[in-house]
Amino acid sequence: MTILNLHVENLRNLAAVTIEPDARLNHLYGSNGAGKTSVLEAISVLSRGRSFRTPHASELTGPEERAFRVFAQIRDPGGTEHRIGLERSSSHWRGRIDGSDVRQLSQLSKLLPLVVLEPDSHLLVSGPPDTRRRFLDWGMFHVERGFLEEWRAFSRALKQRNSALRAQHEDVLDSVDDVLARHGMRLDAMRKAHADQLSGKIDAALDALKARIQRVELSYLPGWKGESYAEALVARRSRDLDRGNTGVGPHRADLGIVCDGVTARTVLSRGEQKALAAAMLVTQAELMKEHGQQPVLLLDDLASEFDREHFDAVLTHVLSLGGQAWVTGTEKTPLNTPHSVFHVEQGAVQELV
């Protein structure tokens, strides 16, 4: 996907900004707090409904009014253009595609696939399991047909089971457990297959990024012991009744990351974790491309996260995927490929020619 035009209103310090980006590479630079990351946040909100920095819309809303708006004209890999937009406040949202209202934010996400590499991306390696679950699920949303429906069905059944547990309604647990186990096993199979695909490509990505990390393996950890989720739910029922929630299942799953036979977060430095996270994200983008999606790649503050050698390696590999890339930094960095440059200062964005 290519963003042809981006317009942002009242998002953080961006009062009213319009950008006509390059189809391949865009470099935004300016001092800290100038608003360059806010531009990337605007793209993230338009795609995901939320920023990669905060889940709270109220933190993004500028001083002009109680809502912010992001609009874009985009072109898909087949050449079809669309107009998309999102208005959001702390209490409501409204999205549009080609002049028609959308019912679900996922409709915008499908049109604007996105991969984000930002300063906290190392948490993919060292952070809690829910960070890695979101990473897996975002990738599968774009490449696995039927994933969203299974995820929603599982989430509904999980909510029903937790409600029954809190109310001590043991009589309904058998029927709810059947539904939860069925969708949980399907979701588990999808995640495992996706993790295997990522694992099969991760070493090549690490080589391309010139990361000196070897023998990395990714494996899906399902969130329960044994082969059968249904049996795990039965075995756990007494404890779940005591605690009022479901303690096993895909909502407790993780993506295991092992380096040379040892858990990666225990042996890799912060810099190595950043390199591994970058490799995981570009691998996700590569899988999206293989399935007919062309994600926009956002690289926030890349120069401060990597030295020049690895900066060039990351950018070269990102551009080799053929999509549009946006790079931010505090300084104007010389780049060895045609690109557009934008100077950001106090919420104003000016293209340099």
Instruction: Tell me which of 31 and 334 has the higher pLDDT.
Output: 31
- Residue with the two structure tokens 């340099």: 352
Q: Is the pLDDT of residue 157 over 80?
A: yes
Read off the pLDDT of residues 321-342 as tens digits, 9 standing for 90 and up: 999 999 999 988 888 888 999 9
Q: Give the pLDDT confidence score for residue 86 in this predicted structure.
A: 94
Q: Give the pLDDT confidence score for residue 339 in this predicted structure.
A: 92
Cα 3 vs. chain centroid, distance in angstroms? 18
Question: What span, in angstroms and rounded, lies between the C-alpha atoms of 151 and 174?
Answer: 21
Number of other residues whose CB lies within 10 A of the CB of residue 174: 11
The fourth-level CATH superfamily of domain 1-113+296-353 is P-loop containing nucleotide triphosphate hydrolases (3.40.50.300)
Question: Taking the model in full, what pTM does it have?
Answer: 0.90
Q: Give the pLDDT confidence score for residue 332 in this predicted structure.
A: 87
The mean predicted confidence, pLDDT, of the chain is 92
* Residues composing the chain: 353
Q: Is the pLDDT of residue 303 over 90?
A: no
- Residue extent(s) of CATH 3.40.50.300 domains in the chain: 1-113+296-353
Q: Coil, helix or strand for 143?
A: helix
Q: Hey, what CATH topology would domain 123-293 get?
A: Glutathione S-transferase Yfyf (Class Pi); Chain A, domain 2 (1.20.1050)
- Residue with the two structure tokens 């009022």: 244
Q: Give the pLDDT confidence score for residue 144 in this predicted structure.
A: 87
Read off the pLDDT of residues 188-231 as tens digits, 9 standing for 90 and up: 999 999 999 999 999 999 989 988 887 899 999 999 998 899 99
* Mean pLDDT of all residues in 60-65: 88
Phi, psi of 309 (to 5 degrees): -60, -45
* Mean pLDDT of all residues in 132-161: 93
Indicate the residue type of 236: R
Read off the pLDDT of residues 161-187 as tens digits, 9 standing for 90 and up: 999 999 999 888 989 999 999 999 999
Confidence band, pLDDT 50/70/90 cuts, at residue 90: confident
Q: What is the DSSP string of 29-63?
A: E-STTSSHHHHHHHHHHHHHSS-SS-S-GGGTB-S
Torsion sign across C-alpha atoms 157, 158, 163, 165 = positive
- Residue extent(s) of CATH 1.20.1050.90 domains in the chain: 123-293
Indicate the residue type of 191: R
* Mean pLDDT of all residues in 34-49: 93
Q: Is the pLDDT of residue 233 over 90?
A: yes
Q: Give the pLDDT confidence score for residue 256 in this predicted structure.
A: 95
